[in-house]
Amino acid sequence: MMSLNELKEMIEKELGALAFKVDSEAPNLIIINVEAPNLFEVAFKLNHMGFDHVKVVTGTDYPIEKKIELVYHVSSYTNIDLAKVIIALKIRLDKSNPKVKSLVKIWPSAEYLERETYDLVGIIFEDHPKLERLLLPSDWDQIPPLWKDFKIKTEGIDA
Amino acid sequence: MSEDKFMQVLIGPQHPGSGHMRFIVKMDGDIISEFEPDIGYVHRAVEKIAESKRYIQIVPLVERPILADTANINLGYILALERLLGIDAPPRAQYLRTLLAEINRIHSHLYGLGIHGIMIGSSTIFMWCFADREIWIELAQELTGARITYSYMIPGGVRRDLPNGFNEKLSKAIAYMEERLKDYEKIFINNPVVTARLIDVGIIKKDDAIKLGIVGPNLRASGVAYDVRKIEPYCAYPEIDFDIIVRKEGDAYSRVLVRFEEIKQSMKIVKQVVEKIPSGPIINESYLKLIPPKLREKAEQTGIWKMPAIFINLKPRKGEAISRVEAGRGEVTHYIVSDGSPNPYRFRVVTPSFRNLIAFKYTMPGHRLADIPAIYGSLDYFPPSADR
Amino acid sequence: MISLDQIIRLIFFPPIFITIVFPGLIALLIVIVFLIWLERKIAAKVQLRYGPLYILKPLGGVIQTVADLLRYLFAEVIIPRRADKFSFIMAPILSFGFAFIPIVALPISSKYFAFKSDLSLLVVLALLTIAPIFILIIGWASDNKFSFIGSLREGYMIMAYEVPLFLSVLAMAILYNTLDIIEIVETQSKWVWGILLNPIAAFVFLICTFMMTARFPFEISEAEQEIVMGPFTEYTGIIFGLCMSYSYIKLYILSLLFAYLFLGGWYPIVWPFTLNPIMPGIITLIKGLIVMIIGIFLRSVYPRFRVDQTLRIGWEGMFVLSIVALILSFSLVILVK
């Protein structure tokens, strides 16, 4: 049985300078902040440690800072100790050019999650096997709908 | 190999066996060589709409995509929200949440079993499951006042207390269901045609299941003993005795069996919940104070709590929270980013069906056209829940 | 001036009575209406539902199928633009027709038949095998992938069910030493029923009947959840009605044939022959109906097999069993001699 802090220290040691900040948050969250170029290597090392699948891929738009935050929530199925925590792998991308190397090669479970994030948040995942529209119609030509500057047109009856 | 060797078949969205999605299937004779699910036909932008709603308004919103399993997805959202608010539900409310979650799991599994039955042609199991599902819906209605969209869990507790005479109705339902499950075994589980159709079809090996991040009964049927109720126990689960059903085969038949056995486990849990349920308030003390004394008195008599309007201004701390919950179809993950305002800054929900979507692409190739409904049904996939 | 007596004599003139009244058009229509209703009603009973109820409520909605037929009759017949119009319309009509023609070779009793032939059993079977060819044409003419796949499935199945079916009939023909249905029934009245003489042949014939008429668990060429309605995907209105009744006609004829071959046909007759053709006809029909009801009851028990599994059942199961049935017949014949 490993406590959250022990695990956090272990991850810090394993990643070294690749991660610029590692936080832990009760009861089960470890947040790793990474620079975009290091993401692939960090993911590789985490996968090696036993974090074998991606739960969530989220893109959040911060229009004032002109950044998009990309979060991978990963955890483990095989290792019970690791399964008890969720790792949030965070990177910040420029909104003008949101490009990052896809992690599908490391975690195949990210395939549709990344594709959805491309679809709705507009992050371009390089080397993704099939980066196409998923939920939106294939002829969608407006800005990604989960950006804050995308306004929903209401019919005037909104509560 | 020339392109002419293959035939492209587009199944859905207007097809009796596709649901609200389309399969782009490349056939080599009767064998599937490529399979691409095309979803998004019932995308309702829940995540975007949530950004313009208050926290309490999101409770009914998150239920809408997953109509067969509303209690569990609602519970996941509430757990994430409570983590942000820094409050907890009292013990009685935790037990009531578990009760509804398990009742919902039973009727969600019955739904899945029935749909799977009709997909491979057994209309009898379809009708039986949907008829017996009614019993559990009625029970849930007794408890919550709604048949499908319960909105039962609220931040800090639940809306209603256990009604009078609920225990008798529940034990009656359990006794009835146990008898019925024996009939199901005769007509479906042990039916020679069913076993011929499902055994060794759509095998997901353990390694593949982990790699693809499959969730729920589908994962457990592949031999991975992962159940959030055991890994990260929430609500009353730490105090309740139940087993995780795991099978090694990983084929369509084992997925059916896992669900079938889970119905029995859920009934076991429900029995324990009503036995062990402690007395006490059903809403957190700090929220109880907000309710005007007159309403409180009335609520204590009837056991039905009306949320005061002040709840609309619920403001969690700045930060983020993630919660996971084992819903009927698998793990639901809610991720909320809050900027301290009454609306969430970013709301993200990943449903089990969306996580299982990837299984279609990698399991179908190599099977026959007739196996598509057999595997589709065994994954218990629900298109509206994947599209959100 | 035609007298009433003449009209009655005209109606009871065997070639007319057999094609028009029984076992021809009128009986066929009534049986189909009744059978489809019964199929739905039995399934409903098993599945804890009411089933058809509101049309003629005192009798449990027994004429529901008539209402459905009327609805088909008034529905617009849509012909897809890319379909081959001539084959698209003609194929279901011809398949219906060819499925119906074998009825003329079915006798009602040993004294009452449209025509007597040494080969009447062979005539029935030969005519029955023509109809499925038009299903293949439907699949091609519809220009729809599901229709195409459905008719290909039917094509594969034809081979798998026809060979064992014919072999099982051959086994019975060896046993009775004739191919004349009348003589077959007469022989049975002297001996015992065919089902007791050669139960293996009866079993093979029954299973192949269900394969041929797309009953569950062999409802593979139509398989709604897989290929919509198979060959009949593009059909609407009354032509779809024809397609739907096509398999019921085949079930009807094969069930009557089963009654002749294995269940002693119109025997036992207790009345004197003055009631010919009504009494023997009723007995045959009842025996046939029992077979049909077994066929429709399977719907509420079994899901459907996959096409490759059905082919395996046809070739590895039924084909082998029909050979065994042949050997059994030979040895019985030798034993008796």
Spatial separation of the C-alpha atoms in residues A153 and A137, rounded to whole Å: 18
Tell me the shortest Cα–Cα distance from B133 to chain A, in angstroms.
30
Mean pLDDT by 10 residues, chain B (388 residues): 74 83 88 88 88 88 87 90 87 90 91 90 90 91 88 85 87 91 90 89 89 89 88 86 88 91 91 87 79 78 74 83 89 89 89 90 88 89 86
Please indicate, yes or no, if residue C206 is contained in any of the structural domains. yes
Q: At what angle do helices C237-262 and C278-297 cross, to 10 degrees?
A: 110
Q: Which amino acid is at B82?
A: E
Q: Is the pLDDT of residue C272 over 70?
A: no
Q: Domain range for residue C89?
A: 82-336
Mutate one of B7, B18, B116, B127 to test the C interface: name it (highest C CB count within 10 A): B127
Contact C304 B121 (CB under 8 A): yes
pLDDT above 80: residue C190: no
Kindly determine whether residue B224 and residue A77, on different chains, have CB atoms separated by under 8 Å.
yes
DSSP H or E run through A61: strand A53-62
Domain span including residue A52: 4-99
Render pLDDT for C90-120 as a digit per residue (tens, 0 to 9).
888 888 888 888 888 888 877 777 788 888 8
Of A86, A113, A145, the CB nearest to B322: A86
| Residue of C250, C278, C262 whose CA lies nearest to C31 | C250
State the pLDDT confidence band at A34, using cuts at 50, 70 and 90. Answer: confident
Res. C273: pLDDT tops 60: no
Nearest-Cα distance to chain A for B287, in Å, is 23
Number of domains comprising chain B? 1
Question: What does the alpha-carbon distance between residue A85 and residue A76 come to, in Å, rounded to a whole number?
Answer: 8
Tell me the shortest Cα–Cα distance from C313 to chain B, in angstroms.
Answer: 12
Asked if the structure places residue A72 within a domain, the reply is yes
CA distance B58 to B62: 6
Residue of A nearest to B387 (CA): A135
Q: For B368, how many CA atoms within 13 A lie in the half-sphere containing its CB?
A: 16
Rounded average pLDDT over A58-73:
89
- Of the CA atoms within 13 Å of residue B304, those in its CB half-sphere come to 7
Kindly report which listed range (A104-118, B110-124, C185-199) carries the lowest average pLDDT score: C185-199
C in contact with B (at least 3 C-beta pairs within 8 A):
yes
Task: List Cβ neighbours of B90 (8 Å cut-off, separation of 6 or more).
Answer: B157, B280, B281, B282, B283, B284, B285
What residue of C is the nearest CA neighbor of B23?
C226
Tell me the pLDDT of chain C averaged across its residues: 85
Distance CA B265, CA B271 (A): 10
- Give the distance from residue B206's alpha carbon to the nearest chain C alpha carbon, in angstroms: 26
Scored b (16 or more CB within 10 A) or e, C87-98 reads bbbbbbebbbbb
Q: Do the Cβ atoms of C226 and B369 come within 8 Å?
A: yes
Which pLDDT score is estimated for B1? Answer: 45
Range of the domain at B210: 3-387
Please determine, for residue A74, whether its predicted confidence score (pLDDT) is greater than 70. Answer: yes
- At residue B46's C-alpha, the angle toward residues A29 and B86, to 5°, is 35
Helix (H) or strand (E) holding B157: strand B157-158
Interface partners of chain A (CB pairs < 8 Å, 3 or more) are B
- The Cα–Cα gap between C331 and C337 comes to 10
**Amino acid sitting at position A37:** P
Which chain B residue has its CA at the smallest distance from A111's CA? B358
Question: Is A53 within the bounds of a domain?
Answer: yes
Q: Give whole-number Cα distances, B7 to B3, B22, B46, B365, C150, in Å.
A: 9, 16, 37, 14, 14
The SS3 of residue A93 is strand
Report the residue of chain A nearest B48, measured CA to CA. Answer: A146
Asked if the Cβ–Cβ distance from A52 to B210 is below 8 Å, we say yes
pTM for the whole thing? 0.89
Q: Would residue A141 count as lying in a domain?
A: no
Is C47 close to B124, i.e. CB distance below 8 A?
yes
User: Which percentage of chain A shows pLDDT scores above 70?
Assistant: 96
**Position A35 in a domain:** yes
Domain-located, residue A108:
no
pLDDT tens per residue, range B156-197 = 888 888 888 888 999 999 999 999 999 999 888 998 999 988
A112 Cβ neighbours under 8 A, 6+ residues apart: A134, B354, B357, B358
Is residue A147 situated within a structural domain? no
CATH code for position B75? 1.10.645.10
Contacts of C48 in chain B (CB under 8 A): 127-128, 131
C-beta of residue B374 within 8 angstroms of C-beta of residue B360: no
Size of interface A-B (CB pairs under 8 A): 90
Residue with the two structure tokens 């907000």: B290
The DSSP result for B317-380, as a single string, is PSEEEEEEEEETTEEEEEEEEE-SSSS-SEEEEE-HHHHHHHHHHHHSTTSBTTHHHHHHHHTT
- Residue B332's DSSP bridge partners are B325
| Among the partner residues B131, B193, B370, nearest to C226 by beta-carbon distance | B370
> Which residues of chain B does C216 touch, with a Cβ-Cβ cutoff of 8 Å?
121
Closest to B358 measured CA to CA, from B26, B17, B37, B31: B37
Facing B193 at nearest CB: one of C227, C228, C302: C302
CB B31 within 8 A of CB B371: no
Chain B residues within 8 A of A67 when measuring between CB atoms: none
ipTM above 0.95, yes or no: no
Q: Which of residues 60-89 of B touch C (CB under 8 A)?
A: none
User: Using CA atoms, how far apart are residues A108 and A64, in angstroms rounded to an integer?
Assistant: 33
Looking at the complex, report in whole angstroms how far the Cα of residue C227 sits from the nearest Cα belonging to chain B: 8
Per-residue model confidence (pLDDT) at position C269: 65
* Cα B136 to Cα B106, B175, B257, B267, B363, distances in angstroms: 7, 12, 20, 11, 33
Chains that touch B (3 or more CB pairs under 8 A): A, C
Nearest-CA distance from A14 to chain B in Å?
A: 22
What is the C-alpha to C-alpha distance for residues B330 and B350, in angstroms, rounded to an integer? 11
Q: Which residue of A has its CA nearest to B332?
A: A55
The total of structural domains in chain A comes to: 1
Question: What is d(CA B91, CA B238) in angstroms, rounded to the nearest whole number?
Answer: 12
* Chain B residues with CB-CB distance to A133 below 8 A: 40
Q: Which stretch of B141-150, B196-205, C56-65, C254-263 has the lowest confidence by average pLDDT?
A: C56-65
Specify the number of domains making up chain C.
1
**Where residue A45 sits, what CATH number does that domain have?**
3.30.460.80
Query: B191 — contact with chain C (CB < 8 Å)?
Result: yes
Chains that touch C (3 or more CB pairs under 8 A): B
Determine, for residues B191 and C301 on separate chains, whether the beta-carbon distance falls below 8 Å: yes
Q: Is there a domain that residue A11 lies in?
A: yes
Contact call for residues A75 and A87 (beta carbons, < 8 A): yes
Q: Which residue of C has its CA nearest to B131?
A: C48
Q: What is the pLDDT of residue C277?
A: 67
Task: Give the contacts of A85 (CB within 8 A, at least 6 positions apart).
Answer: A4, A7, A28, A29, A30, A75
Give the Cα-Cα-Cα angle A73, A76, A81 (nearest 5 degrees): 115
Q: Which residues of chain A make contact with B50, given a CB cutoff of 8 A?
A: none
pLDDT tens for residues C202-246? 999 999 998 888 887 888 888 777 788 888 888 888 888 888 888
Cβ neighbours, 10 Å, residue B163: 15
Whether C and A touch, i.e. at least 3 CB pairs below 8 A, reads as no
Strand, coil or helix: A23: strand
Q: Are B174 and B271 in contact (CB under 8 A)?
A: yes
- Residue B179 identity (one-letter amino acid): E
pLDDT for A1 equals: 58
Q: What CA–CA distance (Å, rounded) separates B81 from A31?
A: 19
